[in-house]
Structure formats: structure tokens, C-alpha cells
Structure 1
Amino acid sequence: MLKYVVLCALLVAGARASPTGAPAIACDAMTPSHNGTAPQTGPAPYTLTATAIDAQTVQVSIEADAGVTFRGFFIQGRSVDTDTAVGTFAPSADAQSIDCFSNPASASTHLDRTDKTSVSVLWTAPASGEAVNVVVSIVQTFNVFWVKIPVTILY
């Protein structure tokens, strides 16, 4: 019985950590640990854009459709060759950077779980010039989320 109480306490502690952003343990799958809930498979009600500001800096934005909000997000630029997070994200008023795959500031996530209609972050591509896919996971509510939505970089 004690084993189950400890397990439940650990699950609650883990669930309470996510409201302040995705933990580093989510870096690989980019999936929130919401008690085994499966991600949505249909189109997300969000517009995702990645606009090049200069040769290395990209503004990644999430914009909710009318009447829709989101509570959390997780953004990475992932190497096409290694499928790991590369480049660096700058922290902002709406986002914090976290380290993924031992790469400093290689992902961006929310600061809190308040409802949001938009967010923009700046990502600096790796100097190597390697091919990269920008992907976003979005949490609308605890049980409604999308994982690794691809974003086209506009140059």
C-alpha cells in the first residue's frame, strides 16, 4: 500500500511541475506527460510561422484561431540528421529557454499555464548551417494537445 501512495505522490509532483514549462525530460518526444492522454491527430487551431529576421535569427510565432487559446507550448529547432534540438532560444516575457540533449537553451517553453492567444520567440540557428526542422507542441487544455507540428521557415 505504501508503494502506491509514494507512486501517486510522485505522479502528482510531476504533473505539478509542467505548469511552469516543459521539463527537460520532454525534450525527445516533446509530449506532455498528461496521464497517458494521446495527442490530437487532426489539424491544430493555430497558425505557426517561422520568419527569418536575418541569416541566422528566426522569429517563431504561435497565433490561436479566433475564440481559441492555449496554455502551454514547447518549441525546438531539430537537426534533420540527428533529430536532436539545435540552435538557441532567447528567453522573453512569455517564454523561457531550457537545455535539451545537453545543448544550452535549445528549446523554448511557456512560463505559466495561463490562457494565451499568441506567443513569439527568437531562435538562433546553428552556425554550422545544417538542415533543421522547427517543430512545436501545443497544449490547449490538460487533455487536448498536439505534438511536433512542423513549421515552415519563411525566408
Structure 2
Amino acid sequence: MAHWSPSLLLGYIVFWTIMCPCVSFPTGAPASACENMMPVHMGVEPQPSPAPYEFQVDAPSFMNRQPINVQIVGPGYRGLLLEARTFGSTAALGTWQNPANNTKFLQCSGNPKGAITHSNTELKTSLTTYTWLPPNSGCPPVITFMATVAQSREIYWLSVKSKVIWRDSKATCGAKKFTWTVTAVTVMPFHLLLLPGYFY
């Protein structure tokens, strides 16, 4: 029967405690991170300081079938989880187009192209461009781009956000839902007036 000395056992535990989180996800965030966008870095908390990153977006508004280019401006980074969301929701909206070098798609909210994550730990820079396409239907009034950005395993910022991007007035992806809501609110009181005995 093998005998483990206390020092050897301690060394084994320390080695795997340090190594396992480092090598767990060098090829991208897991699907379990889609909602809270929290990296699975055991014992490491997000940076409390303001993120040294900001989004550069090439359009002030969005409409279906019109792609939007997004860049994360700041120091070089190695890890990434990037999504488009609307207020009060963790659903990943729209689809990302051909992933940039050293990145790949991540299925979030049942959407195979709902998020972008790193495919390796090579350095990404402000020149890296991500292209997003709004959904063809069910567009919310506004969206924001959100990201977790990691310079290393120990140094990352959670929920870095872009400015608000409004749905363009010419967009048709949200028109039907909006029209139905207005019609329902407007027409319903009129129908109530026609009910027999309404005035009695």
C-alpha cells in the first residue's frame, strides 16, 4: 500500500489547487458563465477598480440586418466573454459574425452564436473587431454590449458595459410587438363601452 508523507501530500494538493484553475478554461469561457459572466477562477475575485476598458461602437442605434462593429479599447487582454443584452435580462441577444482571431462563438441562451469568448490565451488588442447582428424579430428598445475582460487569470473586470444603443426608428424587428401593445391598450376601453349593461 502506498504511503503518502504529509509533506508530499501537501505539495500534491497545493500543486493542483494552483494549476487546475489556470488550465481549466484556456480555450474559452464555459456555458455556465453565460448568465453571471463570472470566470471560473477559483479563489480570484474581479477587480474592484474601474475597468481600464471601454467599448467603441460604430453606430449609435441598431436595426435588423445591419451589422455593428465593436471594439474593446484599452490594454491588451487574453480572456473575454462578450454579449449583447437589454436591461433587466441576462439573455444573449442577436448573433455574432465570423469570430476574430483567437476568439470563437459560445452558445448562450440557446443561441449558438449568442456570445464571443477567447479560443486561446494569445493577446487581443484594441484593434480586434467583433461584429454583431441584431435579431430579426423581438428587438428590445435598447441594448448594451457587456463583457468580462481578463488580462490574466488573476486580473479581470466583470460586466464592462458599452453606452446604450437604441433601436432605430426604421427597424422592423420590434415593430409588430410594439404595434400590438399600443392597439391593445387603445382598443380595449372602447370594446368595454360596447358590452351590454356597461352603463348600468
TM tier, shorter chain?
Answer: 0.7 to 0.9
Contact 2:77 2:151 in 1 (8 A): yes
Structure with more of its chain in strand, by fraction: 1
CA distance in 2, matches of 1:109, 1:29: 14
Structure 1, unaligned runs of 5 or more: none
CA distance in 1, matches of 2:34, 2:17: 20
Cα offset for 1:154? 6.3
1:58 matched residue in structure 2? 68
User: SS of the residue aligned with 1:141?
Assistant: coil
* Of 93-102 and 78-87, the range deviating more from structure 2: 78-87
Q: How does 1:9-48 map to 2 (within 5 A)?
A: 15-48=22-55
User: SS of the residue aligned with 2:26?
Assistant: helix
Q: For the structure 1 residues 80 and 54, does the alpha-carbon distance in structure 2 shift closer, same or farther, using more than 3 Å as the test?
A: closer
CA distance in 2, matches of 1:114, 1:32: 17
Contact 1:51 1:153 in 2 (8 A): no
Contact 1:61 1:121 in 2 (8 A): yes
* Of 103-112 and 11-20, the range deviating more from structure 2: 11-20
1:101 matched residue in structure 2? 109
Q: Cα RMSD (Å) of the superposition?
A: 2.7
Structure with more of its chain in helix, by fraction: 2
Q: Which amino acid aligns with 1:28?
A: E
TM-score (norm 2): 0.63
TM-score (norm 1): 0.80
CA distance in 2, matches of 1:101, 1:129: 15
| 1:140 counterpart = 2:148 | no
Structure 2, unaligned runs of 5 or more: 1-11, 167-200
2:134 matched residue in structure 1? 125
Q: Relative contact order (alpha carbons < 8 A, sep ≥ 6): 1 or 2 greater?
A: 1
Contact 1:75 1:107 in 2 (8 A): yes
Cα offset for 1:60? 1.3
Q: Which amino acid aligns with 1:35?
A: M
Cα offset for 1:11? 9.3
2:192 matched residue in structure 1? none
CA distance in 2, matches of 1:106, 1:12: 30
Q: For the structure 1 residues 94 and 114, does the alpha-carbon distance in structure 2 shift closer, same or farther, using more than 3 Å as the test?
A: closer
Contact 2:147 2:158 in 1 (8 A): yes
Contact 2:102 2:122 in 1 (8 A): no
Counterpart of 1:116 (choices 115, 124, 136) is 124
User: SS of the residue aligned with 1:25?
Assistant: helix
